[in-house]
Structure 1
């Protein structure tokens, strides 16, 4: 990033928050019920600090190595969300390296739920808030439980994972990080089925859906958490040698 784009992160955040506010108004929703996760994958600590200094406290990272390197360099009142695929061998390093980790938004099978639950019990920290990731697009390149298996995984967390607090459902849209109404409708349908089966209100099951390309549409369709990277920080920066 150039110094001018670094200097623009705070202004970009304000522009995003304005758009969130207007999307909430259009759908007659209270903007206070919508959380903006600043998705800071590949961004420097100095850029995160700039957004923090502008008053933002909610950040999301996709890779365990990145979050455990960044978190200790930033204030403890940040609400960290882990939003990437979590591998089994990274559960303990994640929890040990980020004591103020607030959410894991990408629980997509019972094994990961069980590992998180046991690791939290050993550490003795407060319960971890989790979202169940749902593959609403049916793409093989996407992680997430199939919509038909979503309820079973949520029931497992409720019944067998006392150190996890189920908070809602998360999805990633189509390949280009934009989405279609069908993806969001599928996640909303999953929420309705879960709430009916468990006897909980829909306010107890958040929806994390929408990114830079589609967050306004997601808000209008009921999203309570939007994960926004590019619109705040600019395009992601990958080292030339890394071609994954």
Structure 2
């Protein structure tokens, strides 16, 4: 779910917030249109940060042309307005992470913007290293990617969102220019995974 950072600020005051922007919070939590009782009075918009699906306000996990093309076809087939998408960039270089290599993000962004009429290129997303040791570098890399993408597409940086930062590092992410932060566990608590039965 996404909501304006103003809501989150009431829980976690930060001395310096990105002026002039409207950053959003995004949770990997996917409620399929249902709202929790405690958030029922807040206008929420669903973003999605996992295997791509076509029926949401935004998909943040487009990391190759095949996914972009598939989304483009599905959106066209259901006759809805263009779907906003972010290109996912693997800024940490980890094999376990999804995302296009930073060197390929310009070409993928071009493909989405110029070759997928049913998608609206809206920016870039990254997931930093799990131990956060390289978080500042990951964020700097995504910022550099945005500069290159904006120059290539002839758009302003305000037209290219940065989705970076999660519950453990969102303050730094906002300081470094993030417009979307994903803090589901901060708002909703840690995830509960089913325990595997012993053999």
> What TM-score do you get using the length of structure 2 for normalisation?
0.87
Alignment root-mean-square deviation, CA: 2.7
Shift of 1:19: 5.5
Distance, in Å, in 2 between the alignment partners of 1:202 and 1:145 is 20
- Determine the structure 2 residue equivalent to 1:26: 16
From 59, 84, 90, the counterpart of 2:50: 84
Tell me which stretches of 4 or more aligned residues in structure 1 moved more than 3 Å: 13-16, 43-46, 176-179
Matched, 1:16 2:3: no
- Determine the structure 2 residue equivalent to 1:139: 94
- Determine the structure 1 residue equivalent to 2:28: 39
Larger relative contact order, structure 1 or 2 (CA cutoff 8 Å, min sep 6): 1
- Determine the structure 2 residue equivalent to 1:128: 83
- Size of the aligned set, in residue pairs, is 194
Shift of 1:15: 7.9
Unmatched segments (≥5 aa) in structure 2:
none
Unmatched segments (≥5 aa) in structure 1:
1-12, 58-78, 87-93
Please identify which structure carries the higher helix content.
1
Q: Determine if contact 1:107/1:132 at 8 Å carries over to the other structure.
A: yes
Distance, in Å, in 1 between the alignment partners of 2:77 and 2:7 is 42
Q: Determine if contact 1:128/1:164 at 8 Å carries over to the other structure.
A: yes
> What TM-score do you get using the length of structure 1 for normalisation?
0.72
- CA offset digits 1:116-146 (Å, max 9, x no partner): 0011111111100000000000011100000
Matched, 1:200 2:166: no
